[in-house]
A and B are shown apart, each in its own frame.
Chain A
Amino acid sequence: MNTVLLILGMALVTYLPRLVPVLFMDRFQFPPWFYKWLKSIPYAALGALIFPGVLWVDPDQPLIGLLGGLTALALSSLKVHVTLVMGGSICTVLILQYLFF
């Protein structure tokens, strides 16, 4: 298969899961528990996206990712803007890399 066809195939199999809820969700009446489940999804998904992936930011040095993540945790519990949370974790990792690795 040539590369362009492969890319088009990837585009299709990636878009379908994004599109399916749009096409079908309005057609059904869901029970109340379903909406509780839906409301919980962002928290569950973010939890799973963060951990343990954050440890593998630098696969050789899990401590770097951990400390970057803890910086983000500290800053975000102070309710600073998300851009600063990102910036803080990036700076922590840059400093750690410069100093120790």
Chain B
Amino acid sequence: MKPRMDPGIKSGIQAGMPIALGYFPIAIAFGALAGQAQLNWLEGVMMSGLVFAGASQFVAVSMILAGSGSLQILTTTFFLNLRHLIMSLAVNQQMKEFSLARKGGLSFFITDETFAFLTLGDEIDGQDKTPGFMAGLMITAYLGWVSGTLVGGLGANFIPPQITTAMTVGLYGLFIGLLVPPALKSRPFALIAILSMVLNWGLSRCLDSGWAIVLSTVLAAGLGISILGDEK
């Protein structure tokens, strides 16, 4: 008997490639920065492999460089990544039928980008969110992040800063490319997204950016309660 492989894995890997490509140069920059903070390449790769949350890793390494204490770093990391709780609530809606072990495993790979793809990516590939598809997408993104960290940590920081800036805009391009098509089809969802931008613009002036994103998301999604119809 041939081993049965979920055909979704292949399309998951394909769908994850843009995320991996977007992560790679930014991870190289992270690996290089970790080196400056006296982390050896293995510790840098370990952080990427076990934490897998880009923004908080940059913040943690900058805090190490600034001489912050471990407790401060852990607290900051926790609050910076608390937004994944809300994202995980939404991704869970796509995993209702999966076993607990699969859900628990896949939830490790929830990032801003994988969350965006798994909740709004229907437009692009029309894929069923099978466990194989989700694992393929998430692990591809993960490998992009970890391998980039390795390259940067080994001192091969061959990517000029302009390219890193340009690739950062690429991740915003990914967000925009995922948000706009479904929002164009639904006025309520478009309103929610715009409200969230306005809220976040105001809140990020007086709050730390992690908190501003969490609050804007929670509040703007609340608008959905009153303007969305009852269809399931």
Contacts and interface: CB of A to CB of B under 8 A. Distances in A.
Contact of B115 (A17, A45, A87): A45
Interface in B121-165: 121, 124, 162-163, 165
Interface residues of A, number: 71
Contacts of B175: 46, 49-50
B11 interface: no
Nearest to B103: A22
Contacts of B85: 17-18, 20-21
A77 to B, nearest CB: 6
Given A35-B232, A37-B225, A47-B179, A86 B173 contact: yes
A6 to B, nearest CB: 5
Contacts of B116: 42, 45-46, 49
Nearest to A26: B96
Interface string A63-74: 011001101110
Given A40-B223, A71-B173, 14 more contacts: A7-B43, A13-B74, A22-B95, A36-B228, A38-B90, A40-B192, A43-B220, A44-B195, A57-B169, A73-B176, A86-B170, A89-B169, A90-B166, A92-B169
B157 to A, nearest CB: 18
Main secondary structure of the interface of B (DSSP, over half): helix
A97 B179 contact: no
Contacts of A52: 197, 200-201, 204
Nearest to A80: B177
Contacts of B228: 36, 39-40
Given A6-B73, A77-B184, A18 B88 contact: yes
**Is the interface on chain B under 10, 10 to 19, 20 to 34, or 35 or more residues?**
35 or more
A58 B166 CA distance: 9
Nearest to B186: A43
B120 A72 contact: no
Contacts of A21: 85, 88-89, 92, 107
A54 B172 contact: yes
A37 to B, nearest CB: 5
Contacts of B13: none
Nearest to B209: A53
A42 B181 CA distance: 13
Contact of A46 (B50, B107, B193): B193
A25 interface: yes
Nearest to A97: B162
Contacts of B232: 35
A18 B74 contact: no
Interface string B170-210: 11111111111111100001101111110111001000010
Contacts of A38: 89-90, 93, 221
